[in-house]
Amino acid sequence: MGDQAGEAATLADMGLAHMTNEQTELALAEYKQALDIMSEIGERDGEARTRVRMATLYRSTNQPAQALELLEQALQVSREQGNEANEAFALADSGSLLHDDLNQSVEGISRIKQAIVLFKTYHLSQTLGGQTRDQLQALLAEMQGQSDGVPAQLEPEEQQEQSAHGLMQLEPQEQQEQATSDSVQLESQEQTKTGLKTPVIASRCS
């Protein structure tokens, strides 16, 4: 079994090397051989990684349907094995594929978000394709139509943390001015709700 595992790993590495050199047919043949051996000996983690890499190969040759099928299989195996790293890889690649190649934007965005959560939770460095967490976040912003520089909408808790962090960056005088401005805005809103028409600044000076 050890010899078979080594053989499968070697074939997978050769497949990656040939894929990098754009030798598609050779890479695909080696990946398939590696996958057959891994399936036979029950090397499930290697099987999931190989399926992700094969999906990349199919996608590069404009075969998105075959790529998605492999990624779905890799995702299922990863979840069965409890391998969060492989799961994140499969989510990231399938999210990009669904959004860019298969016109399934909502599901694609959802998977990228799930991948980012796994990257953050388990301190992952990058996907099998070399994508980092920061790159995935940039990809998510682009998918959400925020590529013009407007940040993606934050969750309420993240908004609160960002607001507190921003206030801490101000000088003491600026903090006081910011707090005064916020107080004036809040008082104005309260008066508007109760039907008062007297401007806030005027009422303070009287």
Q: What is the pLDDT along the chain (206 residues), one digit of tens a residue?
A: 668 999 999 999 999 999 999 999 999 999 999 999 999 999 999 999 999 999 999 999 999 999 999 999 999 999 999 999 899 999 999 999 999 999 999 999 999 999 999 999 999 888 877 789 999 999 999 999 843 444 444 444 444 434 444 444 444 455 455 555 555 454 555 554 444 443 433 333 33
The structural domains of the chain, with segments of one domain joined by +, span 2-153, 161-205
Residues 29 and 11 sit within 8 Å (Cβ to Cβ): no
Among 113, 120, 88, smallest CA distance to 71 is for 88
SS3 of 21, please?
Answer: coil
CA dist 14 and 203 (Å) reads 78
List of residues 6+ apart from 184 with CB closer than 8 A:
200, 201
HSE-up of 6 (CA within 13 Å, CB side)? 3
Helical spans, DSSP H, in 21-171: 24-41, 44-60, 64-81, 84-100, 105-122, 133-143, 156-168
Q: Name the class of domain 2-153.
A: mainly alpha
State how far the Cα of 56 lies from the Cα of 52, in Å rounded to an integer.
6
Take residue 70 and report the two structure tokens written for it: 């492999």
CA 119/CA 88 separation, integer angstroms: 7
Query: What are the phi and psi torsion angles at 126 (to 5°)?
Result: -160, 165
d(C-alpha 77, C-alpha 74), whole Å: 5
pTM of the model: 0.68
For residue 183, give the amino acid letter.
Answer: S
For 137-179, the pLDDT digits (tens) are 999 999 998 434 444 444 444 444 344 444 444 444 554 555 5
Place of tokens 């993606």: 152
Average pLDDT, the chain: 79
172: part of which helix (H) or strand (E)? helix 172-194
Distance CA 100, CA 51 (A): 20
